[in-house]
Amino acid sequence: MEHHGTENDVPPIKVTIVKGKEDICVKMSDQGGGIPRSQVDQLFKYMYSTAPQPPKSKTDLPLVPLAGYGYGLPISRLYARYFHGDLVLFSCEGYGSDAIIYLKAFSDEANELLPIFNKTSTRFYKATVPTGDWSNQVKGKKVKPIVI
């Protein structure tokens, strides 16, 4: 919004949704001025925001901003990756940005990706030291309980 001035000059945000054989892609494109390449990596750090500070309330009721806390992009990408997808950003400084969200096309392929706690994730996460917990039984070894 800061890039264009008045509300009448704002170009529309274009949203494209495509279902492929493996993924559903949601692409959002704007002409909001883009982001310098030096800042793109910062956008996925928690508590980093490019949003301006919200104005202070002149009444007894506090204003609650919807942006500026630095959690939106990192958590959105975390959710997408949790279900075997991703969120990526491409920016052209001085013009605009594209955000693409990749999601699995079939729900049976979008099972939760958790370390050790499900069958899918065990092939991706291997413990360097064998453990004997309920999710990764070590054959032939008995684990002694710790008595406190």
**Residue 135: what pLDDT?**
46
How many Å apart are CA 27 and CA 98, to the nearest integer?
7
81 in a domain, yes or no?
Answer: yes
The tally of domains found in the chain comes to: 1
Q: Cβ of 56: how many Cβ atoms within 10 Å?
A: 7
Give the CATH number of the domain where residue 38 resides: 3.30.565.10
5 in a domain, yes or no?
Answer: no
Full domain range(s) for residue 41: 14-53+65-126
115 in a domain, yes or no?
Answer: yes
**Residue 29: what pLDDT?**
96
120 in a domain, yes or no?
Answer: yes
46 in a domain, yes or no?
Answer: yes
60 in a domain, yes or no?
Answer: no
40 in a domain, yes or no?
Answer: yes
**Residue 91: what pLDDT?**
93
**Residue 2: what pLDDT?**
65
Consecutive H or E run containing 96: strand 96-104
| Side chain identity at residue 53, one-letter code | Q
119 in a domain, yes or no?
Answer: yes
How large is the C-alpha radius of gyration of the chain? 22
Residues of the chain with pLDDT under 50: 133-138
